[in-house]
Structure formats: structure tokens, C-alpha cells
Structure 1
Amino acid sequence: MIQQETLELLEWPRLCQHLATFAATKLGTVAARKLVIPGSLEESQELLAQTQEIYRLEQSLESRWSFEGINDIGESLDRAKIGGLIFGQDLLNIATTLAGVRRLRRVIENYEDLPILTELVTDVRTYPELEQAIHHCIEEGGTVADRASPKLGEIRRNLKEIRERIYQKLHSILQRQGGAVQESVITQRGDRFVIPVKAPQKDQIPGIIHDTSSTGATLYIEPHSIVEWGNKLRQYRRQEQVEEEAVLRKLTEQVAEVQEDLDYLLAIATILDLATAKARYSLWLEGNIPRFIDVGKGETITLRQLRHPLLVWQQNHEQGTPIVPINVLINPKIRVVAITGPNTGGKTVTLKTIGLAALMAKVGLFIPAREPVELPWFGDILADIGDEQSIEQSLSTFSGHIRRIVRIIEALSPDGFNDIKPLQSPILSPHTPHTPHTPLPHHPITPSLVLLDEVGAGTDPAEGSALAIALLHYLADHALLTIATTHYGELKALKYEDDRFENASVEFDDSTLSPTYRLLWGIPGRSNALTIAQRLGLDQEIIEEARSKIGGFSEEINQVIAGLEEQRREQEQKAQQAGKLLQKTEKFYEEVSQKASSLQEREQELKRYQEQEVQKAIAIAKEEIAQVIRQLQQGNQTGQKAQQASEALQDIKQRQLPQAQKRQPSYQPQVGERVRLSNLGQTAEVLTVNTEGALLTVRFGLMKMTIPFTDIESLDGKKVEMVVKAKTPTTPPPQPIKPQTVPLIRTSQNTLDIRGSRVADAESDLEKAIAIAIMSGVLWVIHGKGTGKLRQGVHEFLSRHPQVDRFELAPQNEGGSGVTVVYLK
């Protein structure tokens, strides 16, 4: 009962309605509105895998993943099961559903790395022979076709012939008795053909009167001459109905024979549509796939930039206010989080956001939070949110909260409150000693998430805070995680007496006297009642007396909390400044990389042009030399001819060999002067000069680098004079000194995410990424863990790439086996 009540409190049905709008079929819409919460971790993991595979499939498909033609045929299958008759349109729906599911199965089978979906459709039978039989017998619109049976075709030919005879006879009567008819039209009354006759002239057209106009002036008469044909027409129509029913009965029997298989097919189609709706809703939410963690192994609950999904919908569809995301990072040893802060500050929304995130992960939806999304699988999600007071049941606010909390305790443990130990000192103060709570050893912690709004509220503050402390201690012993909002200052001190407790607060802006809706961790909320009252103009004498009643210690605590909040704001401002600086650095690095790539392309193009020109010159020279040789070979060889041939060869040499270029005056770089970097087209300042190693260190912008003399020139185009020393056979040549490299920084330019890609597609992406990252010397490749097939393909490609020096799996904090770090030459 409490589980269903929790779904209502968290507004889960509303989220299901939003999900249903992304379904493609009536089946999927109904399933989304009545979304079933899984009862096991394995089922949730399978649902997440379905959503992820369809998410990946839709991203890679050229055409849309379509459920066209798939209908809700459940009622027709039930009718066939009990021996009823399925009519024409319903049979067509069965045929189009078979074709639609077959199309979906074919798409899944044509793609690799879809193990869950492939297994899902493996046993689906789509009966193409049944589909063909239905289309053969049933026309568009659901009518039985003439070709359905020879007898039916003959009956309909007879019907057509008799109908034509009746029309011919009636047209003849209308022409002969034009003065007696009210209007020259042929109409029907029931299944009999009649003509409208003026009442006074009824004797001119004898026949059977089937109807009369409202005024009595017109009689609708079936002439005696066509009565017999009308009777035959009625007989043939009856025969037609019998034969149509026989065709439908035969098709219904074929459906009944495979009814169980079609029920299974319909269930699979519903699962696929529901998984597709989840994938599309997750994409619309900009969600990320969650990973279920084990807090027993020391893993942290991580939900960064978490947004409330219903508020996202409200912002996009109902022009709601901008959403303030929250960060949820909970240490694995924490069992209770106490959230404090002002009213309307977002505490209740925070509870609902976390509760909905846990439910979304369980049913296979992505969570609207930044990667990584990591949280436990909660078996039960139990909540006491809002007011349950009732005049009819004589329930106060406090009574309503307690009754709901009793149901939560019963869901956690059938023994209820019997195990709660009395506190030695229920009300905490700076002068009251407190006995640390000892966890109950004989009750295992259930994988439950408990959400309590204003725990202990609605009664005397002293008794309410004592009850709240006892309740939270009990929940720390029995539930995996409890998040409670409160106004009681005594709950803030629990963190310092029991390491299973943590404080959080919603931020309050003193200058505007309004909440910012940001969630702050590790800092309890401070009381703002007196501050707000003073700002709103309450008499200062009253404010001072109130402060004296509270005591100086409480004021000191508020000052300490205010100081902590100020420190946090300063740290956040510095973090933002550092983030902006990093963005500028990345932008500058991108610009330098683009210029370097452009220069490399220009250099390669120039080399290709020069090689082409050299080859042309060589070809022309060879042809001219061959011509001189042929001239020598013709006739007698004389000294004069030899002299002429020698002069011709010298002329070819002068014309074809490149002329020696004039060398620019050389120079030696000096510390402090500016030089031009040939490869980058930038100017830089010389910091150090290493003449022996022919190296120098330069600075341009924010970067320092060590480069050889050959990569620079003076601002007026002079090259560095290189001193070449004579080699001696006894002394080996000195090893070149490698330039110092810039510290490796991971950026968007040297990170490649290929998760979900095929190996063949990934190789093309890797080639492009290596070309871009060559300046930084390192490349991070995110391939995910999965089956390991993509990682193996990436490693095989890297092992044979000429620009790859080495590669290795990333450290655990950088992605572990899901990321490969590539060091480039």
C-alpha cells in the first residue's frame, strides 16, 4: 500500500503520462501509463539494456525506427480463442501487425551488438502465409474480395446482373410516366428499389408502397414489374452474406490455430514500443544511462546536475521557470541525510527529484543528470511527503504524518517501532551530554530509499525533534538511505555524533530574502526567521528580545554557518574563473592546432607540386637526350657531331637542372629577441639558446616549447647558421636531444568517444582523431567496457598505425578498461 502511495506522492503517474506521449502504438501508450516497477535488479538491468540498445539503434539508423501497421489485436485474438468471428478490418489489422513486427525483427537482425533485442525477437513468428491469405481475401476497407471464393464471385456477378436489369426497368418507367413521378430518381427503402410517385397519380404506376413522405404528397412505390427481380436480389444478398461469413470463418480458424504465438508477438511488440518510448523520452530529457552501484563496496552515489523531469517538461511545454539542477554526492557510509533550509527553498522538490531518479533507473529510463550517473538499486522507495490531515478521519497534520511513517516502518520491518531504543537525552543542546547511538546488530539493512518531508513536524518542537532523532536512528539501522527535510536545529548535530549522518541545506540569499534552490552539502541550513523579520520591518526591540531568548550560542552557530557559506561561494567563484580560463586555453589550443594542420596540408601540397614538376622536367630531359643520341647514331660519327652533341647536352643541363638559390644571410638567435616559427606562422620570444644541441626554448602566448634551430627564422627571413663539425671515426655521433614536451592535458580536442560504434566506423574516426591530436602527443579513446569487442578492434588498429608510439588502458579514475590512452610519435 505504501509503495503505491509513494508513487502518487512523487507524481509518478504524471511522469508516466509524459512517457506515453513518446509511444508509437496504442499498446505502448497503455503500457507506459501503467508502467510496472521491476522487483529485481536483474530485471531493471535488462530494461536499461533494452533502452540503451534502441537508443543506439535509432542514432545509427538512416530511416526512422517505425511501428507503422502495428495495432492492438488482443481483442480479436480473444474472440478467435472462444470461437467468435473476426471481421474484415480486424483481420487486416492482424495482417499489418504481422508485417510490422517482421520489419522490426529484420532491422534488429541486420545490426550487430544488440544482444538483448536479438534475444527478444528470436522466438517471434510472424506467419507470412497467414498475412498473404488475409490480403488475398480482404479488400482495403475490410470488405471480402470477390476472389476470396469462386462461389462468392459468381453470386456477386448475378447480383450485378439483376441490379442492372432493375435499373433499366425503372429508368424505362420514369421515361414513360414522367408526369406521375415527383422526381426522376431511383432510390431505396430497405433493400427494395423504389421511385417517388405523386400521391394522386399512384394508379398510373401500380406496385407496392414501401414509404410515404412526411406531407403525404409522395409515395415510394416498387413497381410490380420488378418485384420478382427484387426478391431474387434479396436471395442473392443472403447467399452473399453466408459465403462472406464462410470466408471470414475460415480465416478466423487460421488465426485461432496460432493464437498463442500471436499473443506472444503482440507482447514483444509492446515491449519494443515501450523501450522505444523510454529511449526517445530519455533523449528528449538529455538523460544519461545510470549504473547501479554497490555501496557495500565503497562506491559513491553520484548524481551531478540532476534535474526534476516534471519541471523539465513544464519548462519546455508550459513555459515554466528555469530549472536549478542539484548535485547529489553521497558517501557510501552515509545512511541518513538531513536537509535544512527555509520554506519554499526547494527541499521538497529535492526529495521528489531524488525519488523519481531512483524510480526512473529501476524501470529502464535514463536520468536527466551529467555523466557518470551512479546510484544503488533500491528495492523499495518509501515516502512521507505533504500533509495527510483529514477532517473526516479526525487526523491532524501530525497524526497524518505518523500514520504514514507507521506504514513505512511496517514495509521495512514487521516489528515496527519495537526495536527503537529510547534516547538518553532527546533534546540536544551545547550543555547536554549525548550518548552516541549504537546501531542495532540483529536487523539487516534493506535496500530501501526513505524520503521524509518535515520529519517530526506538527507537534511540540521538543517532542517532535526527539521523535525525529529516534526515527532517523532507526532508519539508519534499517534502510540503505534516508533523506529527510527538517526545521529542527537538533538534527544538524547528528552528523558530529554518528558518521552515518550527513547535513545538506538549500541556499538562501540574504540580500534578496529568497532561496536560490541550490543544494549545499556538508553545511546545515541556518535559521533566517529573525533576519527576514528584521528586513521586513518588524520592530527592532522585538527582534533583540527574540535573540536574547534564543541565546548567544545559537547566534554563534549561525555566524559560523554563514562563514562557511561565504567560503563555499568564494571557492565556487574561483572554480568558475578556472573553468573560464581552461575554456580560453582550449580555444587557443584549437586555433593553433587548426593553423598547424593547415600549414601541414599546404606543405604537403607544395611537395606534391614540386615532385610533379621535377618528374615533368626529367621526362622532357630524357626525351631531348634520346633525340641527341638518335642524331649521333644516324650517319657517320665525326668529331664535329660529337662536339655538337656535347653542346646540346650542356644546354639541356642548363635549362632543366634547378638553379642554385641564393642563400639568405644567416644569423644566431639571441635570448630576449623575437623570432618567427616557420611551421606555425607565429612569432615567439627566445628564452634560452642551446648552441651545441641546436635547440632553443621559446614562449608564444601561454605556451612554452623547445624546438630545433631549423624550425625558426628571424623576422626578416634569415635562417640560423648551422655549424657542422667534422666527424671522427672514433667518436660516435651525438644523440639528438628531444625537445621538452608540453604537459599533457586532456581536452575535447584529444578525446574521442566511440561508444556504440562499429569497429569499421571507429577506425575512420580514430584516423581523424590522431591527425588532430598529433600536436598534443596523446589521445584518449573512450570505447566503453561492454563485451570488449570494440576495445579489441581499437587495439588491433592502433598496434599497426605508423604514428602510434604505444598505448595502454587508462587509470581507474580516468575510465579504467573503458578508456585507452594513445601516445603518438
Structure 2
Amino acid sequence: MIQTETLNLLEWPRLCQHLSTFAATKLGAVVARDLRIPDRQTDSETLLAQTREVYQLETTLPVSLSFEGIQDIGDALERAALQGVLGGEDLLAIATTLSGARTLRRTIDQYPNLTTLNALVEDLRTYPELEQEIYRCIDERGRVMDRASPKLGGIREQFKQQRDRIYQILQNILQRHSSAVQESLITQRGDRFVLPVKSSHRDVIPGIVHDTSTSGATLYVEPNAIVSHGNQLRQLLKQEQVEEEAVRRVLSEQVAAVHQDLERLLAIATTLDLATARARYSLWLGANPPHFIEFGAQPSDISPNSSSSSLSSITLRQLRHPLLLWQHQHEQGPAVVPIDLVIQPQIRVVAITGPNTGGKTVTLKTLGLAALMAKVGLFVPAREPVEIPWFHQVLADIGDEQSLQQSLSTFSGHIRRIGRILEALSGDDGRQAGSSTPSPSLVLLDEVGAGTDPSEGSALAIALLRYLADHAALTVATTHYGELKALKYQDERFENASVEFDDVSLSPTYRLLWGIPGRSNALAIAQRLGLNPEIVEAARAQIGAGSESDVNRVIAGLEQQRRQQEEKTKSADQLIRETERLHREILQRAEMLRQRERELQQQQEEAVQAAIAQARGDIAKVIRQLQRGPETAQAAQQATEALNDLADRHLPSRQVSPKPKPGFRPKAGDRVRIPRLGQVAEVLTNPDDGGEFTVRFGLMKMTVSLADVESLQGEKPELGGR
């Protein structure tokens, strides 16, 4: 089956194994290792919603989901449903699972905004009464307790008394016949109590011999004096076992009565564990949530007047291979070089060219894994936004493992697998019946058309890619054939990309360049790998005058232009970031100044109100004195002096105004303060007739007026000319 082949070629089982290490339960790990890939986009979106909400719990909320106590009780539930009697350990596992599931639900119930998780646990029934009954009857070792039934407690009490009586009789025998035993020890053979009697003293302690030592020197004898007591003990033991089984049978019947709800509970707990594993793995990868987009419209389907919102580009910037990340972190592998994949919606086929060992195959695998990760609800290790179509199928022909197994040539192996891919496309049930639209599938082809005569191989590759452009949503193919590079200029559904090669170090950089076909750089690689320089130079001379050399020079020039443009873009991005930082800093300082101004205004208003209140009180006091005392000249004089004193203290017109500081006039080279921005700036030009001049602070230049600035000592500038 081509889908299974594809998963193996992409090393999907390894990724699932990595995911399973983040599961909290054994059952969750088992499910993660055999991860089911959804057949419907709605299922994938539900899984992503679960991952997103658990991720929120793990990263922004003060709690996380705990799976303590939850065990794989599936087999126990199945036996109970078939009227089997469960063991004590199975019953205890059911009780701890019920308790753990209740804890999960309580945690989720605290956050009603986690709508997907709340909907998942909405029908969760944890049967606390069943859990309590199991804990009442079964101890932490899985043994039925005395209190489980009155009859069981009585049997065990009789058993204890009978055993104590046997011990007492045996102790008396040991004391009376100490010379007849190897050591003063009471032991057991099976369920019978025996003494280690010397074989030479066999007749001293008559009884039943249950065992003999290897040397034959010791006989393990059950004295006749305790045989009847031993028989009674055995009967009590059987009665105990029967009563224990009766208790466990009752509990098993209670489990069987609700086994469907408990199976549902186990499934929900496993779903939550798997969602938690996805969230924690995504967090470890530094991944971001993907958004499914509509993709793959025919150019003729795109109307000039249509809204572009219905069509989106595949956007996977800084995409990293998850298995290489794991290898780098856990196996001391090399650092992972991210790639950028931005594919316009009208593109159906991308041809990636460039040298061997340059990262072309890794690019295919990374894209394939990203599509599968999004489908199963995993975040994708790429920079936001992560926008990718929901591909119904991911189909790949990478490497020649299949051909080696079948003893076929490399070419035959590729053709066989490509044939299976085409069959899967024609039978894709993800496409509406009778629809002429391509299958919503992603096809990945490594070294398409390789392994045969180059002219025939390139012709076959061109025909195959043109067919796939009509029948698959997106095909990404790697190739060395130069003829495939020209398809972009013949059909706008085709795009070129290449892996970058450093001509100085003679090694690939593993970066993906778009819009530029790559060079194979076979001679440069041969030179780096140590091939005789004379042979390399002879090869260069052989192709030096050919058209291929001219094309390579053009491509090299385009690559150089691309690198220069990228450097300029980086510089521009850095300048923009610095400008944005300064802008944020200016806004922050301006807000601080406004806040300080508001605080001062509030303080002034409070001081004025306090002064008014005090003045009113003082005036009222003077009035009361005049009303109480005789109307004499002395009293009037005192009242007048009091009112004058109030006026001097509270009327602004009576207060002495501070002398203004002498003004100044800024000139080029001075430093001034801009109070409204909270910035100190350098004066670049002298003020013009209108009082305006240019200043600079940081990377920003601006024109200000004299009224906007002051000196560093707080002086206001003269507004008139000198």
C-alpha cells in the first residue's frame, strides 16, 4: 500500500516513537506509537483544537493535566463484561483510574473557555460510589480486606487462632526435643507447618515427612500432634478463598454493569493523554499551530475581480525537520538549517534542483512530515503564521529501498512506486465524485526520471510532472535535469527552487532559494571530495564553451543578486526594528510625562482645594470674632489685618512671581531637550525665520519649532530673532 510505503520513507514511525515519550500513560504511549491519521479535515481541526487548549494549559495557566492513577484497564473491563471475576489488582486499577479521571475533569472544569476539552469530558462518568466500594474492600496491595464482609472477618479470626495454636504446639515440641532438630525453626512446606528434624532422630518426633534436604540429613516433618489442626487450617484457608472470590465477584458485577461507561472513560483519558503528548512535543519542538488553507486553484479559475481571501499561499517559514531536531538534541547531531517554503496558490509543481548532498531530499521529507503533523493535530516546527493545505493523501517516492528489496533496478523501483502513486490519485475518495478538480494530495518525488538514459529520463519526467499538475494539488520533485528548469517559463503552474551552493567553501549551505534553478555543481563537489585536480580541470575545459556553462554563469549571477538582496533586506529589517523600538520608547516616555503632568495637576488641585477650605475657615473665624466682640476700632483693625494676611497667603496677585530665566537661541551642534517626547536631541541646523530647525535623536531626524524645545538647564528659547 503506497500510503504505508510513504510513511516509512518519511520515517513517520520514528516521529511517532518520539511523540510517545511525551505520553503520561502506557496506553497513551501505545496509541502514540501507532498514530491514526484522520481521513477528514474536521477531525484534524478537532485534534488541533485539543492540542491548542492543552498547550494553553501547559504554558499560560497555573495548572497542567495530571494522569496519576490512570491505568490500562481495557482487558479487565472486557473480562468483567464476559462475567469474569476480576483480581484485586485489576479492581484497584479501576478505582485509581476512576479517581484520576475525576481529577482530570475537575482541572478542565476550572477553565470553561477551554471549550473543546470541556466538550470532551462533558459526558465523563467517574462513578465515585464504585470507587469507594472498591477501596473499602481492596487494600493497596490488591488483597481483600477483613471489612469486605462480616463472614470473611470471622474466618480470618478463626484462621489466626488456629495458626497460633499450631505455633504453640510446635514451640513446645522444639523445647522438649531440641537435640532432635537441626535448628529451632518452624517452617512450611506448601500449606503445612513442619520442623527440620535430623534424619538420625526420625523416631523422636513422629509425624508426616513432607520434604527432605538435598543431602538427606534433614527431614521436614509435620508432627502428628498438629496434623488435625493443619487440616482445620486448610479448610479455613479454602473458606477464606471462597469468601474473597465472592467479594471480588460482587465488585466485578458492579464493574460489568457500567463497563461501557468505563470504556468511554478510558478512551477519553487516553485522548487527553495523547493531546497532552502532542502539546508537550510541540512545545519541545518550538512549533506553532498550523492553519488549514484553500489551495490549488487553476490560473483560469482566478478572476481579476475575485477576492484573494479565498486563496492562500502555503507559508512555512523557518521550517525545521523534526527528526533532525531530535537527533541534534539527543544524539549530538549537527545543527538543523531551517528552510523557507512559500508557494503561491496557482502553483501545482515545484522543481527543486541543485547539487547532491545539498538538502533536496531533506526538503521533501520535511514538507511531507509537516503535512502529516498538521493532520494528526501536532504543531509544525516553523515560524508563525503556519499555513498549509489539508492534504487528503501524502504520497512519496524517495530513495530506492523498494527496488533493492525486490532485486529491481533503481529505475524500475521508482517506476513501480510512481505507478502506485498514480493509482492512489485516480482512486482518491477525498475528491468529490465527478469532479474535475485535482486530488487534494501532496506528491513528493525524489530524483524524478533518474536511473536511465538522461534524454529519455528527462522526457519521462516532464510528461509525469505535467500529468501531476492536472491530477494532484501539489507536487514537489527534485531533479538534475536541466530541461525541467524550463517548465516554469512554459506553464505558470510550475515553479523553480534550488539548494544554495557556496562557491568559496565548495559546499552546500542547505538553504532553499526560490525562483532560481540550481546548478548541479558536480565538478566543485568532485574537487571538494578530493578527485584529481587535472581531471576536474579537463572536465571544465570540456564543457567550458557549452551552453550549459553559460546557463550556470547566469544562475550564479542570479544567486549572487539574491544574496545581496537578502543582505539589504536584513539591514532594512534591522533598521525597522530599531525604529520601532525607538518609537515604542518615545511613546512610553511621552505617556510617563503625561502621567506625571496629570499627577502634578491633581496635586495642585488638591492643594488649591485645601487652601480654599483653610481660607474659608479663617474667614469664618474672623466673622465669628466680630459677631461675639464689641464693635471697637481695635477689633476692626485686627479683623482687617487678618483678612490682609489671608489675601497675602492665598491670592496669586499678592504673591511674588519668580523672575524668568534669560532665554537662549539654539544653534547647530547644541543639545536641547524636547519635553513632549522626553528626548534629548542634537541640533543639526540653525532656526530659520519661522523658528523651525532640524534635530536628531537616535536614528530619527525631525523638524521642530523653538516652542517645542528647551535647553538642558530648562531655559526656554527666545521666540524673536536677534
TM-score scaled by structure 2? 0.89
1:654-708: CA deviation from partner (whole Å, max 9, x where unpaired): 567785341323537556464322351524538687999x988754333355667
Q: Aligned pair 1:518/2:514, yes or no?
A: no
Distance 1:173 1:623, change over 3 A: farther
Confirm or deny: 8 A CA contact 2:112 2:118 kept in the other structure.
no
Q: Would the aligned equivalents of 2:403 and 2:412 in 1 still touch at CA under 8 Å?
A: no
Counterpart check, 1:259 vs 2:272: no
Partner of 1:664: 660
Q: Does 1:713 align with 2:713?
A: no
- Deviation at residue 130 of structure 1 after TM alignment: 1.3
* Contact 1:182 1:196 survives alignment (8 Å): yes
1:466 aligns with 2:459: yes
* Letter aligned with residue 137 of structure 1: C
Instruction: Tell me how far apart the structure 2 counterparts of residues 298 and 166 of structure 1 sit (CA, whole Å).
Output: 88
Q: Quick one: distance in 2 between partners of 1:392 and 1:254?
A: 54
Relative to 1, partners in 2 of residues 1:241 and 1:569: Cα closer, same or farther, differing over 3 Å? same
Judge which range, 496-505 or 206-215, deviates more: 206-215
Q: What residue number does 2:336 align with?
A: 323
What is the distance in 1 between the residues matched to 2:218 and 2:2? 72
Query: 1:664 touches 1:717 (CA, 8 Å); kept in 2?
Result: no
Counterpart code for 2:636:
A
In 2, Cα distance between the equivalents of 1:31 and 1:359?
16
Tell me the secondary structure at the aligned position of residue 163 of structure 1.
helix
Deviations 1:142-198 (A, max 9, x none): 000111111111111111222222223333333344444332332222212223333
Paired position in structure 2 for 1:310 = 323
Q: Once the 2 structures are TM-superposed, how far is the Cα of residue 29 of structure 1 from its aligned partner? A: 0.6
Q: How does 1:787-802 map to 2 (within 5 A)?
A: none
1:772 is matched with which residue? none
In structure 2, C-alpha distance between the alignment counterparts of 1:392 and 1:384, rounded to whole Å: 15
Q: Which whole-Å CA distance do the structure 2 matches of 1:655 and 1:392 have between them?
A: 105
2:477 to 464, 481, 484: 484
1:482 is displaced (CA, Å) by 0.9
**Partners of 2:656 and 2:561 in 1: how far apart?**
70
The 3 A distance-change label for structure 1 pair 229 and 616 is: farther
Question: 1:664/1:209 Cα in 2 relative to 1: closer, same or farther (>3 Å)?
Answer: same
Provide the identity percentage.
Answer: 63
User: Which structure 2 residues correspond to residues 546-565 of structure 1 after superposition, within 5 A?
Assistant: 547-548=541-542, 551-565=545-559
Q: Corresponding residue for 2:440?
A: 447
CA–CA separation in structure 1 for the residues paired with 2:656 and 2:89 = 90
Higher mean C-alpha displacement, 623-632 vs 36-45: 623-632
Compared CA separation, residues 612 and 354, structure 1 to 2 (3 A): same
Q: 1:201 to 1:650 in 2, by over 3 A?
A: farther
Equivalent residue, structure 2, for 1:644: 638
| SS of alignment partner, residue 556 of structure 1 | helix
* Corresponding residue to 1:585 among 569, 579, 582: 579
- Does the CA-based 8 Å contact 2:527-2:536 persist in structure 1? no
CA separation of 1:279/1:603 partners in 2, compared to 1, >3 Å: closer, same or farther? Answer: same
Of structures 1 and 2, the one with the larger relative CO (CA 8 A, separation 6+) is 2
Are the counterparts in 2 of residues 527 and 558 from structure 1 also a CA contact under 8 Å? no
1:637, distance to aligned residue in structure 2 (A): 4.7
State the 1:266 CA deviation.
Answer: 1.4
User: Which residues of 2 match residues 303-382 of structure 1 at below 5 A?
Assistant: 303-382=316-395
Asked if residue 117 in structure 1 is aligned to residue 117 in structure 2, the reply is yes
Paired residue total: 697
Once the 2 structures are TM-superposed, how far is the Cα of residue 499 of structure 1 from its aligned partner? 1.3
Q: Which residue of 1 aligns with 2:300?
A: none
Does the Cα contact within 8 Å between 1:504 and 1:525 map onto a contact in 2? yes
Further displaced range: 339-348 or 404-413: 404-413
Distance 1:197 1:540, change over 3 A: closer
Counterpart Cα distance in 1 of 2:74 and 2:80: 10
For residue 462 of structure 1, give the secondary structure of its aligned residue in structure 2: helix
Tell me the equivalent position of 2:208.
208
Q: How many Å apart are 1:574 and its aligned residue?
A: 0.6
Q: 1:702 aligns with which of 695, 699, 715?
A: 699
Corresponding residue for residue 420 of structure 1? none
2:671–2:683 Cα contact (<8 Å) kept: yes
Whether 1:574 aligns to 2:568 is yes
Structure 2 unaligned blocks of 5 or more: 298-309, 429-433
- Alpha-carbon spacing, 1:661–1:172, altered in 2? closer, same or farther (3 Å): farther
C-alpha distance 177-611 of structure 1, shift in aligned 2 (>3 A): farther
Deviations 1:771-812 (A, max 9, x none): xxxxxxxxxxxxxxxxxxxxxxxxxxxxxxxxxxxxxxxxxx
Question: 1:241-282 CA deviation, whole Å, 9 max, x = no partner?
Answer: 000000011111111111122112211211111111111111
Tell me the residue number matched to 1:438: none
Gaps of 5+ in 1: 416-440, 724-825
Distance 1:706 1:164 in 2: 105
C-alpha change, 1:173 and 1:610, in structure 2 (3 Å) is: farther
| 2:418 aligned partner | 405
Q: Which amino acid aligns with 1:302?
A: T
Aligned-partner SS, 1:373: strand
Indicate if the aligned counterparts of 1:678 and 1:713 stay in contact, CA closer than 8 A. yes
The aligned counterpart of 1:682 is 680
Tell me the equivalent position of 1:294: 294
Q: Matched residues in 2 for 1:178 and 1:395: separation? A: 84
The amino acid that maps onto 1:578 is A
Write out per-residue CA displacement over residues 326-349 of structure 1, whole angstroms, 9 at most, x where no aligned residue.
111111111111111111000100
Q: Decide whether aligned partners of structure 1 residues 157 and 467 sit closer, same or farther in structure 2, where only a CA change above 3 A counts.
A: same
Alpha-carbon distance in structure 1 between the residues aligned to 2:149 and 2:579: 79
SS at match of 2:441: strand
- State whether residues 312 and 345 of structure 2, in contact with CA within 8 Å, keep that contact through their aligned partners in structure 1: yes
Using a 3 Å threshold, how does the CA distance of structure 1 residues 176 and 642 change in structure 2: closer, same or farther? farther
Q: State the TM-score, normalizing by the size of structure 1.
A: 0.78
Residue in 1 that maps onto 2:193: 193
Is 1:389–1:399's contact at 8 Å kept on the other side of the alignment? no
Kindly report the root-mean-square deviation, in angstroms, between the aligned alpha carbons of the 2 structures. Answer: 3.0
Q: Deviations over 1:273-329 (max 9, x none)?
A: 111111111111111111111123432111111110111111111121111111111
* 8 Å CA contact 2:671, 2:680 repeated in 1: no
Q: Counterparts in 2 of 1:11-90, with a 5 A limit?
A: 11-90=11-90
Letter in 2 for 1:667: G
Q: Which residue identity is paired with 1:455?
A: V
CA contact (8 A) 1:683 1:700 kept: yes
For 1:35, what is the secondary structure of its paired residue?
A: coil
Quick check: 2:360–2:478 contact (8 Å CA) kept in 1?
Answer: yes
Q: Which amino acid aligns with 1:230?
A: G
Cα pair distance change 1:503/1:547, threshold 3 Å: farther
Q: Distance in 2 between matches of 1:623 and 1:164?
A: 99
Letter in 1 for 2:579: T
Worse-superposed segment, 59-68 or 568-577: 59-68
- Tell me the SS of whatever aligns to 2:38: coil
Tell me, yes or no, if the aligned pair for 2:403 and 2:414 is still in contact at 8 Å: no
Q: Secondary structure at 2:287's aligned position in 1?
A: coil
Alpha-carbon distance change, 695 to 609 in structure 1, aligned in 2, over 3 angstroms: farther
Q: Which deviations, in whole Å up to 9, do the C-alpha atoms of 1:64-111 show, x marking residues without a partner?
A: 211111110010011112222111111111111112222222332332
For residues 652 and 686 of structure 1, what CA distance do their matches in structure 2 show? Answer: 52
Q: What is the deviation of 1:608?
A: 5.8
- 5 Å-filtered alignment, 1:387-406, equals 387-388=400-401, 393-406=406-419
Deviations 1:220-250 (CA, angstroms, capped at 9, x unpaired): 3333333222222111111100000000111
Where do residues 770-781 of structure 1 align in structure 2 (5 Å cutoff)? none
Output the CA distance in 1 between the equivalents of 2:446 and 2:128: 57
Q: What is the correspondence of 1:423-434 to structure 2 with a 5 Å cutoff?
A: none
State the distance in 2 between where 1:203 and 1:601 align: 108
Q: Which residue of 2 aligns with 1:131?
A: 131
> Does structure 2 retain, via aligned residues, the 8 Å contact 1:677–1:684?
no
Residue 34 (structure 1) shift: 0.5
Q: Deviations over 1:120-143 (max 9, x none)?
A: 222222222211211111111100
The 2-side partners of 1:324 and 1:444 are apart by 36
